[in-house]
Structure 1
Amino acid sequence: MAHRLFNAALAGLLALGVCLGALSMSAAAHAAPVKLVALGDSLTAGYGLPPDQGFTVVLEKALKARGYDVTVVNAGVSGDTTAGGRARLEWTLGDTPDAMIVELGANDMLRGIDPGASRANLDTILKTITERKIPVLLAGMYASGTYGKAYVDRFNAIYPDLAQAYGVPLYPFFLEGVATEPRLNQGDGIHPNAAGVQRVVEGILPYVTRLLDQRAHGG
């Protein structure tokens, strides 16, 4: 009798241990920061800036200041085109992001790449991300008028068209308020300086917080 009672008590303790362990693992998983990955080019990579002044670092600080437990991962590569982003997408997804920002296309435009090719690359990127149920914010780019109206119209249509096709939020112009403003750009007139990055983050921040809020609520 005593032996049976001991075995029953031992089984109960083991079961309790399993439950507590599962609860502990669940709590740890819940406590892990949200991993937000920014897939982009030099604009997200922080070209020409000290590491603490780049886009992803400044964005992470801004999000944490608003109470978000988040790690913003810099997956920007200077000089990258949409084709480059597409080529390294699987490697980036290997970092198991909880949410993503896609900011690509500026270098396509600067090189005069056919907008049809840029559209196809971004289409594949968004298709892959959305199929994996990863919330994503698409950051758009505008073409320079020096390429002519036909090119500008085709390029500028890429981002709203794809955002609508995949049902993802769009921040229309990543460099809103910064492009063509000398005081907010480095000497090349293309890449934001520290003040420019702050302005970029201020502009995109409401879109990012909505993305994270929708993720948190399963939207």
Structure 2
Amino acid sequence: MKLVCIGDSLTTGYGVSRDVSWISTVKNSLKIDIVNKGINGDTTAGMLSRSFMDVVEKNPTHAFIMGGCNDIMANYSLNMIEDNLYEIIKESLNHNIIPILGIEPPIIGELAVLYWGTDSNYGLINKNQILYRKWIIDICNKISIEYIDFFKLFSIKLKSTTPKNLYIDGVHPSKLGHELMSNLALSRLNKILNL
């Protein structure tokens, strides 16, 4: 069994040391072959352009696919983001690779504005993230593939803690954020992969 993870900085583990990033924790716990192909700042178009080389050619049994945050922050259309993600899913399925989608945590505007500036409309970003999450859940249900909902996880946790505990900058998770992500991912992957 082999799992290749393709995505952006939330897959790479930007902002925390590699050994505490959620994918590293999952890899150490599951003891299966996991390859991290996250690239900081990547978009769904970038992921699509490299998915054959970074996923298909690695010959995995499963592909974890998570992206879209950078597209949404750059104000790209949701239709384009969804089309790119769907093409990555189809490419995996066409090569007998089982896709698992990730839904990225919400962006916290009041914290992100301190680190990333005031150029972005965080209200619109949040609205588009919610619509994108709904689309991912709908497409997964439609074609019977699994997903891991980090958006829901963080939304629930934010009711009992401050954003500064879960994020380093309103976009990227803190060490605690990665710990929560790894716990959810381990729980879901154990079921999905029948471990």
The structure 2 residue matched to 1:167, chosen from 130, 133, 144, is 144
Q: Identity of paired residues, percent? A: 26
Task: Structure 2: give runs of 5+ residues left out of the alignment.
Answer: 108-121
Give, in angstroms, the shift of residue 100 of structure 1. 1.4
TM-score by length of 2: 0.79
Moved over 6 A (4+): none
Larger radius of gyration: 1
Match runs of 1:20-169 below 5 Å: 34-64=1-31, 70-92=32-54, 93-141=56-104, 146-147=123-124, 151=128, 154-169=131-146
Name the count of aligned residue pairs.
Answer: 175
1:172 deviation in Å? Answer: 2.7
SS in 2 for 1:176: helix
2:103–2:150 CA contact under 8 A, matched in 1: yes
Q: CA deviation at 1:71?
A: 1.8
Per the TM alignment, residue 42 of structure 1 is displaced from its structure 2 partner at its CA by 0.3
- TM-score, structure 1 normalization: 0.71
Determine if contact 1:83/1:121 at 8 Å carries over to the other structure: yes
Q: Deviations over 1:43-70 (max 9, x none)?
A: 1101122221222211112223xxxxx0
More RCO (CA 8 Å, sep 6+):
2
- CA RMSD across the alignment: 2.4
1:143: how far off? 6.2
Residue deviations 1:145-198 (CA, integer Å, cap 9, x gap): 600787456423320122123210122335723676311221x22211222111
State the AA in 2 paired with 1:167: S
Gaps of 5+ in 1: 1-33, 65-69
Shift in Å at residue 82 of structure 1? 0.8
Query: CA, structure 1 residues 208+149, in 2 after alignment: closer, same or farther (shift >3 Å)?
Result: closer
